[in-house]
Structure 1
């Protein structure tokens, strides 16, 4: 006997006929796949780029990342334009940036309606103050001049050394020459290993602090703190007897009329008189174990420490005395006071 096997009908192979509908479906599928691929690539390549506003360049080259937002890290490092020189500014038309991106195959850029981008090149500015400080340091170490008493007037206006912002450190004066007779100086101001340099020249002035009157004074006026200001003036233009800032003048009295803004000179003022002519004064003689005092009369004005004459009202003798305080004078010998005054002396005090 034979085993019976199931009879299975043979299947015909189906062959699809290429119809317009199939073609359209395939086209749509390919378009969708293409769109998705482009979208993914655009996202990966940092597409949907937006133009930045005004930018500040820190180096010589402007990269794609400097000018647009949304770029990937790799694309952001692509160099596009050369930056302006140090401290200068410039503009780039938006269309030129769009053309540069198109050459990289990055498509369109959102400009936000901007027609151009302004670019400012960042720079470190070493101004006159730093330049003068560098010159003063060398004048002190090489020529023995006290930099605290020096002023330097640089030739030219607004002398500035421009350097890259990452070039830090103190400015240095190299190749310095100084003429003590003409007081002229010249030097090369540098930063780093001469990575930025500027040659300068100027006039050196020795200066000193002097006291200046803030208001006009009449003879006999007493000076207060508000009447005096301290200024730094070139030494060659100030009088030799000008009062320096270290001289104490408060409480002194004008010896003549003085104008506001005038330099205060020796002899313009003097300490106030502690004794006035015709004033009753106390005449004292004081030694260990002996103290004598007597009322007398001053024959002249006198400030502290001044030598004047006084009259002993008892003996009517004129005595030489020294002003020791307000209304008080001292004599060198008790005998000079006169015997007639003995009744009026207080002794042993």
Structure 2
């Protein structure tokens, strides 16, 4: 009896017994040929140095410096932080030694030799300190704090506090000598968690009127031409005008530069009535209202009393100037200011 032909490789493979030795040798051969890769068992990751840091506390912990530090050791203090607002460095070898002292392997440093540490802080500068001192002085002495300034001794004061210390600066233990105007105080933040002793000279300020642009002689002051500025009271002129609104509508007696404090003689009220002018004479009273034409015998500014002639009776009347070419001989309404009396600019 004849048999059907059979594929020879298949018949041979069917008779091969794959024992453990053969499997091992086959796997090694495949690895050598690059056809098979064996898994590599990874060890625990090494801790990693974080690099430059910003410290918010007065100590630096292991967790501040090392990424992946064990939870039970992360809060362990290792070094003192720099002073508030200052910057310092820590050598990497010291961090390695500190880690070894805690039973840890050296952190991966990436070739760094040192770590920079900046201490976070909030700076309270001179203007805020001055505000605290002048507010305390105003409460103690009854001054207007808006008119007070302090020239501090030495360099402008700066109080450096931790970033998490909230609250504004306050001045306590205030001592003031009215004769010398010397002042000293302790500036504190929080419940005296941060403090700074300051001293200096109190300077009283005042508001003075100054021009915002130069004026030529005879030029009229407009509302936008004058403003107020704080100046040292002792240096301000005694005859400086106090009412800025009253300056609007006045004219310059001479050329005046911008920014210079005004004095009473710098500006004058313009004559709204000139000598010889024909004027309107108004009279109001007891339900009677009259208006007639007259002639001014003298000139005068707003509010001035001038002599006018009634052309009918030829009688000389004393009338008050209430506007350009207008006078009143009775209780006629008067404008509140020169600016209201003058006609509007085109």
- The TM tier, using the shorter chain, reads 0.7 to 0.9
Distance 1:54 1:250, change over 3 A: farther
Corresponding position: 1:197 with 2:195: yes
TM-score of the two chains, using structure 2 as the length reference: 0.75
Distance 1:60 1:263, change over 3 A: same
Displacement over 6 Å in runs of 4+: none
Structure 2 match to 1:117: 115
1:57 aligned residue (46, 55, 58): 55
Contact 1:230 1:245 in 2 (8 A): no
Structure 2 match to 1:76: 74
Deviation of the 1:126 alpha carbon? 2.3
1:142-153 correspondence to structure 2 within 5 Å: 142-153=140-151
Equivalents in 2 of 1:314, 1:293: separation in Å?
Answer: 13
Deviation of the 1:318 alpha carbon? 4.5
Contact 1:209 1:245 in 2 (8 A): no
1:229 aligned residue (227, 240, 249): 227
Deviation of the 1:118 alpha carbon? 1.3
TM-score of the two chains, using structure 1 as the length reference: 0.74
Equivalents in 2 of 1:158, 1:265: separation in Å?
Answer: 34
Distance 1:294 1:200, change over 3 A: same
Gaps spanning 5+ residues in structure 2: where? Answer: 1-39, 331-346
| Cα deviation 1:146-184 (Å, max 9, x = unaligned) | 322211111121311222233323333232211110000
Deviation of the 1:312 alpha carbon? 4.1
RMSD: 2.6
Structure 1 match to 2:135: 137
Structure 2 match to 1:96: 94
| Cα deviation 1:279-318 (Å, max 9, x = unaligned) | 3222233333544433233333322221122344456654
Distance 1:245 1:329, change over 3 A: closer
1:270-281 correspondence to structure 2 within 5 Å: 270-281=268-279
